[in-house]
């Protein structure tokens, strides 16, 4: 199937933007591939205490909870150790921060602005981005201070990871006091992980358009699917002798060479 040519607001500038978006998304993909799958959701464990009258055939979990004398519901979430989350946050930030060229919502606007056939697609991805935030999906009750969805990521990242300032740190501490440090941590980890996967999804869905524009090669797309490994060591080889790059002493200010001789005349 032929891919419709992508019309961009500023063709040259936006082609460079989309190339950077796709290449940076590949780095994010490699990080996410090494993380536990948070998308499986929390595990639940219910410990009810029932009166004898509650044991009736076909009772649902809700029926049993309502009929119990007491009950305890334990919800376990997948967390990320700090070093792993720091890697994820580092790669995610260019897609989240408002002043970044490849901010996710900015890229969606650039791609869809002059391409009417992509409007429904862009709308769905924006909706996914909004709903990916932990608090929205959990339906948490009113808290003090009130929890705003975007603040989970903004306060979490900017209080401990990027552009640290005392105001954001105090806001984070207030949330941790009201909600519990563990709950706020899970909200941050879950929200960043979900949105990172949406970035990767969009970068993959754009590949045919980028190849059609000629700004990403089909070979690069294929190579990006191969698992990436960072070498433990990097070796540099220096070659000497005739024809190789020759070292030359730098002249000191005033025309004298480092060893006190006259500086060479001319280039």
Report the distance separating Cα 235 and Cα 237, nearest Å: 7
User: Residue 262: its pLDDT value, please?
Assistant: 47
pLDDT digits (tens, 9 = 90+) for 105-128: 999 999 999 999 999 999 999 999
CA distances from 145 to 4, 173, 179, 185 (A): 48, 11, 9, 16
Report the DSSP pairing between strands 70-76 and 43-49: antiparallel
Q: Which two tokens stand for residue 31?
A: 């990080």
pLDDT band at 33 (very low <50, low <70, confident <90, very high): very high
Judged against a pLDDT cut of 50, whether residue 37 lies above it is answered with yes
> Alpha helices of the chain — where are they, by DSSP H?
11-33, 61-67, 82-96, 104-112, 119-131, 134-138, 149-160, 166-179, 181-205, 207-213, 218-224
List the domain boundaries for the chain: 11-41+79-224, 43-76
What percent of the chain stands above pLDDT 70? 72
> Could you tell me if 89 and 161 are in contact, meaning their C-beta atoms sit under 8 angstroms apart?
yes
pLDDT band at 43 (very low <50, low <70, confident <90, very high): confident
Return the number of other C-beta atoms located less than 10 Å from residue 263's C-beta: 13
User: Residue 242: its pLDDT value, please?
Assistant: 67
Interior angle at CA 90, CA 157 and CA 227, nearest 5? 140
User: Residue 254: its pLDDT value, please?
Assistant: 65
User: Residue 98: its pLDDT value, please?
Assistant: 93
What is the average per-residue pLDDT within 212-235? Answer: 90
């Amino acid at each position: 199937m032929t891919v419709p040519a992508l019309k961009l607001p500023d063709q040259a500038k936006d082609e460079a933007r989309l190339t950077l978006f796709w290449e940076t998304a590949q780095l994010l993909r490699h990080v996410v591939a090494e993380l536990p799958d948070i998308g499986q959701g929390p595990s639940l464990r219910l410990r009810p205490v029932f009166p004898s009258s509650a044991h009736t055939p076909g009772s649902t979990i809700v029926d049993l909870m309502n009929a119990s004398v007491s009950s305890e519901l334990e919800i376990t979430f997948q967390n990320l150790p700090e070093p792993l989350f720091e890697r994820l946050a580092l790669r995610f930030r260019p897609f989240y921060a408002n002043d970044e060229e490849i901010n996710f919502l900015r890229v969606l606007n650039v791609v869809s602005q002059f391409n009417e056939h992509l409007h429904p697609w862009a709308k769905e991805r924006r909706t996914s981005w909004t709903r990916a935030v932990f608090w929205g999906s959990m339906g948490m009750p009113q808290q003090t201070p009130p929890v705003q969805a975007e603040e989970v990521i903004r306060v979490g990242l900017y209080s401990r990871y990027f552009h640290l300032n005392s105001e954001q740190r105090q806001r984070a501490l207030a949330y941790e006091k009201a909600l519990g440090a563990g709950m706020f941590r899970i909200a941050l980890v879950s929200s960043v992980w979900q949105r990172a996967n949406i970035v990767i999804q969009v970068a993959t869905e754009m590949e045919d358009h980028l190849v059609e524009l000629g700004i990403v090669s089909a070979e690069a797309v294929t190579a990006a699917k191969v698992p990436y490994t960072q070498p433990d060591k990097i070796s540099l080889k220096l070659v000497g002798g005739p024809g190789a790059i020759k070292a030359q002493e730098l002249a000191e200010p005033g025309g004298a060479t480092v060893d006190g001789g006259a500086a060479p005349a001319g280039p």
